[in-house]
Structure 1
Amino acid sequence: MNKREPYGGRTRKLVVALDVGTTFSGVSYCLLDPGQVPEIKGVTRFPYQELASADSKIPTVIWYDKDGNVREVGAGAMRDGVESIAAVEEWFKADLFKLHLSPKHLRRELKASAIPIPPLPPGKTIVDVFTDFLAYLYMCTKTFISEHHPNGPQLWRSVQSTVEIVLSHPNGWEYIEQDKMRRAAIRAGLVPDLDEGLKRVHFVTEGEASLHYCISNNLNTEGMKSGGRILVIDAGGGTVDISAYERRMEQGKQFYGEMYKAECHFQGSIFVTENAKKYLQILLKKSVLKDDLRYICEAFDKTTKPRFRTSTEFAVIKYGGPRDSDPDIGINNGQLILPGPQVAEFFKPSVDCIVKAILAHQQSILKASTVFLVGGFSASDWLFKSIRSQVESEGVTLCRPDGHTNKVVADGAVSWHLDRRVSSRVSKFTYGVKASENYSESDRQHLRRKSRSFRQFSGRICIPGLFTTILPKDTKVKEQQEFRYSYHVELEESDEKLIHREIICYRGSRNTPKWVDEDPDHFETICTLEADLTNMIKDHPPVKGPDDTYYYTFDYDIIILFGMTELVAQIAWEEKGEEKRGPVRIVYNAV
C-alpha cells in the first residue's frame, strides 16, 4: 500500500530526525542514495548505554556546573554517582525542560495540573538548554553513523554540509516555539545561520509524525483501507497529542487530510507519577520514612508504573532494604504495598482525557474507523486496557504498534520528510492582521475610537485597531493554498522603505471580534512580516499631498501559506500588468 520509491536525487543526502521528548529522547535517520529505496534507521547506541537494547533512547536530562558548562547529558546524567558529584561540585540539573517551551496559551492548563516544573539552571534560557541538548544528540548521531557504516567517517564528511534536520514537537506548539527550536539548531551547529542552512531545518508535529509511522509500517492496513478515517493518539511523557485524519486519493496517490484541528493535552506519563507523589506525600506525612518519598517515587516511575496491569491485585514499589519498614502504612523490608484500585486512580486523569477525546470524535459526523495509540506511554498495558474497555462498546478498534513504541515519533518524522502523506490541515485558531479603515462620523464604533484616529499623507483620516481575518479557525487548508491581504501604504520620501506587518492570532471562544480592543486578552501577535519596498517603488513617482508634502503611494499583497507545518510568506505587487513576488522576512515574537 505504501511502497516507498527509490530516491531520485543525484547526490547522496542524509535526513536526521531529532525527537526531544519531555522525559526521553531519540534519533532516527535515513541515508538517501541515488536509485536506492530509502531505509529508516535509528541511533541505537549512546554513551553509557552500550549494553542497552537496540531501541534505546536517552533521558532528557543535562547537568551544568556552577559556571554554566555542560557536564553530563542523557544516560551519563543518570549514572550512579552523578548525584553525589553534583552535590559536592554544586551542579544544576535541567530535566523536564521541554515543558518550559510550552506556548503561552497552554501554560494555563499546565499550571492547572499543579505539576512542579523544575526551574532552568541559573543564567540559562530554554533556547540555551535546547541548544546544548540538540548539540549532544547530533554529536551522538555523527559518532553512531561514523562507527556503524562502512567508511563511516568518509560518509559523514560527504553529507554533513547538506544534512536535512527534522525537529518534532507536540501538536499544541506553533510558530513561536518552532522559531526557538530553529535558533537552538543554529546555535548548536546543526546548520549554518544562512538562508541555505535555515531551509534545511524542518518541523513536524508529533501527531503527524505518528501518522506517518503508522502508514509506513502498514499498521492495521485493512482497517485503514475500509474506513479511511483514523485517529492517532500519541501518548508521551508530557503530552497526549490527538490527531484525526481522513484518507483520500489525489492524482492517483494516497494522502491524508486532517478532519479536525489537532489537540494537545498535558496528561502524559509524568502526570501519573505526580498523582502518585501527591498520594504518597499524604501517606508518609507522619511516617519515620517520610524522607524516602523521593526514592519511592523514583521506584514507582521506573518499575511499578510501567508494569501495572490489573487493579485486582496489589502493586509493589520496591525501593529500599530490610531496615526500611513501617508496617502501619504498608512498608516492609523496603517494599511499599499499594491497593490496585488506588494505583488505577493515578492513571485515571490520563485515561479519562483520552477516552473523552475518542468518544467526542465518535459522536461527530466523521467517525474514525481505527484508533492508533502510540508513544512511550502507550507501552503501559493498564493504559491500553483501560481505554479499550471504555471505547469498544462504541465500535472503536483500538490498536498499538507491536514494535518499539518509543521510536514512533523519530521514525515517523523521517517518514514525514520522505513521503509527505498529509496534504491538508485544520487551523486551530483564527489568524489575521491589524488594519485601519477610513473614518466615518456615522459609524458608532468609529466615534468611540475617534481619539486614536490618524491622518494619512493623502489627507484621509483612519481608525486603527481593526482586526481583519485572513484564516478563520477550524478551516481545512491545503498545503500550497495561499491567503492574501491587500495593503495600501503611504510613505514620505525620507521614510524607511522597510515595512512591518504583524500577524495576529485570536484564541478566544466568542465570535471573532471586529476590533482588537473588544477582547484584548485573547489576541496575540504571532510574528512580524518584514519586506523591503525600495526596489518595488523606485519606478513610482512621488505624489503631492494636500499639505504640499510629497509621498509615495503603493499597493501590495501579503501572501501567507498556513497549510504547511511551518509559516511561509511572500509579498506580491503589480508591475506593468504583471504580478511580481518578493521575499518576506518572518520575525517571531519572543515570549
Structure 2
Amino acid sequence: MTELKLYKGTARKLVLSLDIGTTFSGMSYAVLDPGQVPKIEPVKRYPGLEDCPGDYRVPSELYYRRDGSVHSVGAEAAWGDVEMEPDYNQLVHSRWFKLHLRPDNLDTSEVNKKNIPALPAGKTVVQVFADFLRYMVDCARTYISESEASGELLWASVKDTIDFVLCHPNGWEGLQQSKMRQAAILAGLVPDTAEGRDRVHFVSEGEAGLHFCVQNCLTSESITPGERIMVVDAGGGTVDISSYVFKSSAPLSVEETSSPDCVMLGSVTVNMRAQDFFKERLTGSKYGKEVHIKRMMKEFEKSIKPRFTNEPKRAYYFPTGLMDNNSALGIKNGSLSVTHENMMSLFRPSLDGIVAAIKKQFQDTRGTPYTAVFLIGGFSANKWLFTNLKTTLEQLGLRLYRPDTHASKAVADGAIWHYFERFVSYRIAKATYGTSVSVEFDPSDPEHRAQQGSMHLGPAGLMLDNGFSAILKKGTRIRDDEEFTQTYCLVRSPLREMNETSSDIIAYTGNKADPPTFMGTGSGDFKRLCVVRADISKVSDGLVMGMFGPLAAKKISVVLRCGAELQAQISWLEDGEEKRGPAQLVYDDPDGAADDVVSPNSS
C-alpha cells in the first residue's frame, strides 16, 4: 500500500469521483489542504437511506413528471412510496439509463436497444444522466457540509473549482466520454468553457479498480516485480476485465499486459433472464399481466437473487398477488414455485461469459501465470457468482479474492487514487487508429488498380480516395500520455486560402496485423471515431511540385495523445522550430439524439 503525497497547491481544493452505475451509484471525495496529506472518504448518506448507515450506494433511478421535470431520484424513487401517490400514473420511471450510453459494438442478444428500458419520452441519455449527476453532487454537498469541520464554509470555498472524476466501463470510448462531459455541463457541475471542461476527468472502471486493489488488497512488501494480477469489476450492466504486471514496487509502476475487456454480463442480465422466464412460464394466463410480473421481479431482485447459493432448495416462491392455486403452472396459495435448476439457468450464462472473458485475457498473455484475480463491484457480492467463479478459476490455476472492505465503493475510491497517483505507466492499444488520406496512383500496384473507381485528378496528379494511414497500431505499448504523430501535406488551390482543416480519426478493428491500404466501401472493419478540426491559419505556406509546377501547400502533423482520454493537437515547423496549436475532437452521435459532441481542446 502506498501513501498519498502532501498537497503542494496554494489553495484548498476538492476532488469528487462519481461512479454512476447501471443499478447503483456511489461517490468518494478528497479535500486538498495546502501542506496536508489528502484523505479519501466515501459519501455515506443519501435521502431515503438515513436508516442505512454505511450504505455507500444509492439506486440509479429517477421518476419524471409528464412535463419533463424530476419528481424523485435515488432511493426515494426506487424504494419510496411513489406508487402510493395519487399522481403515480402520470409519472415516468427511468432506470438502467446508463445502458443507453453503451457503444453499439457491445450489443448482445440480451442487451440491446430493443430490450433495455426506454428513456422517458422527449429525454436524451445526456439529459437523464445530467439530472442524475445534479442529484448526486447535491447529495455530496449535503454530506460534506454536515460531516466535515466547518463543512458549509468548506463547500462554499471550493464549489467553483471542484475537479470531477467520472468512471466508465472499459469498453466506453471517446463518444461516451464526451456525452458524459456534456451531461456534467448540462447539470451545472462545470461551465461550458475550456477551463470548465478541463475540470472533468475520466478513468476506466478497470483502472480505478486496480488502484483500489493496490491500496486495499496488497502491501508494498507483497508486490514483486513481474507479478501479474487481474481485476474483474462485476457491476450492474458490464463486467470489466483488466490484466496488469507490476514492473517495480518503489516507485510503484504497473503495465497492462493485454487490452482491457468489457462484456455486457452484469447483474441486470440475470434480471432480464428472470423476467423472460416469468413471462414465458405465465404467458396466456391471468398471471402473465405486467402487474404480476412486476411483483415477482421485485421479490426476485430484493430477496431471492442476493441470497441464492449452490445449496439446493425444493423450490423458490414468488408471490403473484392473486391468492389462488394453479397446479399446471406451479402456483400454490398465490405463489409461483421455481426449481433450483431453473434458478441456476438464470445465473449460469453470466458466469460462463465472465469465465470466457478471463480465459481470453489469460490467452492474450500466452498463459503467463497470474498471482491473483480480484473480484470487485456490486455483482461481486452475489454468493452464487463468487462461489462458482472461485471454483472454476481454481481449476484453471487462478486464485480469486474478494476485498474484505466494501467492494461496491472500489471504483469510486480507486478513481480518487488515480487522480493523485497514476500507477499504470503503459497501456495496450485495443485497435489500430489512423486517418483517411488520398494516395498517389501507382498503375503498377494491383491494389491501386482495383481502386480506380475512386481515382481523380488532383493538383499533383492522379489520386485515389479512401486510403488509410495508420497513426497507432493495435497491440502497441502506449506510455501514459504518449504522443503519436503522422505528417500530412495539404495542397491548396491558388484561388483560395486554407485556414482550417479536418481529418477523420478512424479505427481499424479487423484481424490483420497490417491494415489494408484502402478502406473498402461498406467495410465493417473501419469505423470513424471522430473528426479532428484545427485552425491552421498560422501555418505558413510551403511549396511542393505538382504536375505543372510548384504548388502552395501546408505541411502539418496530427498529434494524438493517448491517456485516459484521447486528445489531439496539430504541429508544424516554423523557422526550424516546432509550433503547436489546439485541435478539437468532434464525435458524431449515431443516435441523432444530440448535435455533434465536442471534446475539450488539447492545450
TM-score (norm 2): 0.91
Task: For 1:12 and 1:211, locate their aligned partners in 2 and report how far apart those are by CA, in whole Å.
Answer: 28
Residue 482 of structure 2 aligns with which residue? Answer: 481
Task: For 2:37 and 2:317, locate their aligned partners in 1 and report how far apart those are by CA, in whole Å.
Answer: 47
- What SS is found at the alignment partner of 1:176? helix
Note closer, same or farther for the CA distance 1:222–1:342 as it changes in structure 2 (3 Å cut): farther
- Give 1:47 deviation, angstroms: 1.6
Q: Would you say the 8 A contact 1:64–1:71 is kept in 2?
A: yes
Residue 455 of structure 1 aligns with which residue? Answer: 457
Residue 386 of structure 2 aligns with which residue? Answer: 384
Task: Write the letter of the residue equivalent to 1:401.
Answer: P
- What SS is found at the alignment partner of 2:16? strand
Residue 535 (structure 2) aligned to one of 532, 537, 547: 532
Residue 433 of structure 2 aligns with which residue? Answer: 431
- What SS is found at the alignment partner of 2:122? coil
Residue 467 of structure 2 aligns with which residue? Answer: 466
- What SS is found at the alignment partner of 2:18? strand
- Give 1:224 deviation, angstroms: 4.5
- What SS is found at the alignment partner of 2:347? helix
- What SS is found at the alignment partner of 1:434? strand
Task: For 1:222 and 1:334, locate their aligned partners in 2 and report how far apart those are by CA, in whole Å.
Answer: 58
- What SS is found at the alignment partner of 1:118? coil
Task: Write the letter of the residue equivalent to 1:520.
Answer: S
- What SS is found at the alignment partner of 1:342? helix
- What SS is found at the alignment partner of 2:552? strand
Note closer, same or farther for the CA distance 1:86–1:211 as it changes in structure 2 (3 Å cut): farther
Pairing 1:183-194 to 2, within 5 Å after superposition? 183-194=182-193
Residue 515 (structure 1) aligned to one of 514, 518, 531: 518
Residue 277 of structure 1 aligns with which residue? Answer: 275
Task: For 2:177 and 2:48, locate their aligned partners in 1 and report how far apart those are by CA, in whole Å.
Answer: 30
Pairing 1:175-254 to 2, within 5 Å after superposition? 175-219=174-218, 224-225=223-224, 228-249=227-248, 252-254=250-252
397-406 or 363-372, which deviates more:
363-372
Note closer, same or farther for the CA distance 1:528–1:310 as it changes in structure 2 (3 Å cut): same
Q: Would you say the 8 A contact 1:224–1:369 is kept in 2?
A: no
Q: Would you say the 8 A contact 1:254–1:421 is kept in 2?
A: yes
Task: For 2:335 and 2:419, locate their aligned partners in 1 and report how far apart those are by CA, in whole Å.
Answer: 47
Residue 23 of structure 1 aligns with which residue? Answer: 23
Q: Would you say the 8 A contact 1:319–1:335 is kept in 2?
A: yes
Residue 258 (structure 2) aligned to one of 249, 257, 260: 260
Task: Write the letter of the residue equivalent to 2:486.
Answer: Y
Task: Write the letter of the residue equivalent to 2:257.
Answer: M
Task: Write the letter of the residue equivalent to 2:268.
Answer: I
- What SS is found at the alignment partner of 1:410? helix
Task: For 2:469 and 2:113, locate their aligned partners in 1 and report how far apart those are by CA, in whole Å.
Answer: 37
Q: Would you say the 8 A contact 1:483–1:559 is kept in 2?
A: yes
- What SS is found at the alignment partner of 1:477? strand
- Give 1:394 deviation, angstroms: 2.5
- Give 1:455 deviation, angstroms: 3.3
- Give 1:496 deviation, angstroms: 4.2
337-346 or 372-381, which deviates more:
337-346
Q: Would you say the 8 A contact 1:63–1:73 is kept in 2?
A: yes
Note closer, same or farther for the CA distance 1:222–1:304 as it changes in structure 2 (3 Å cut): farther
1:273-330 CA distances to partner (integer Å, 9 max, x unpaired)?
2222222223333655333222111211111011112242245345467935545544
Task: Write the letter of the residue equivalent to 2:370.
Answer: A
Task: For 1:16 and 1:555, locate their aligned partners in 2 and report how far apart those are by CA, in whole Å.
Answer: 42
- Give 1:111 deviation, angstroms: 5.3
Task: Write the letter of the residue equivalent to 1:508.
Answer: G
1:144 aligned onto 2:143: yes
Note closer, same or farther for the CA distance 1:156–1:263 as it changes in structure 2 (3 Å cut): same
- Give 1:542 deviation, angstroms: 7.8
Residue 56 of structure 1 aligns with which residue? Answer: 56
Q: Would you say the 8 A contact 1:456–1:490 is kept in 2?
A: no
Specify every segment of 5 or more residues in structure 1 that has no aligned partner in the other structure, as ranges.
none
Note closer, same or farther for the CA distance 1:487–1:114 as it changes in structure 2 (3 Å cut): closer
Note closer, same or farther for the CA distance 1:225–1:448 as it changes in structure 2 (3 Å cut): closer
Over the aligned positions, Cα root-mean-square deviation in angstroms equals 2.5
TM-score (norm 1): 0.93
Q: Would you say the 8 A contact 2:432–2:470 is kept in 1?
A: yes
Task: Write the letter of the residue equivalent to 2:519.
Answer: V
Residue 418 of structure 1 aligns with which residue? Answer: 420
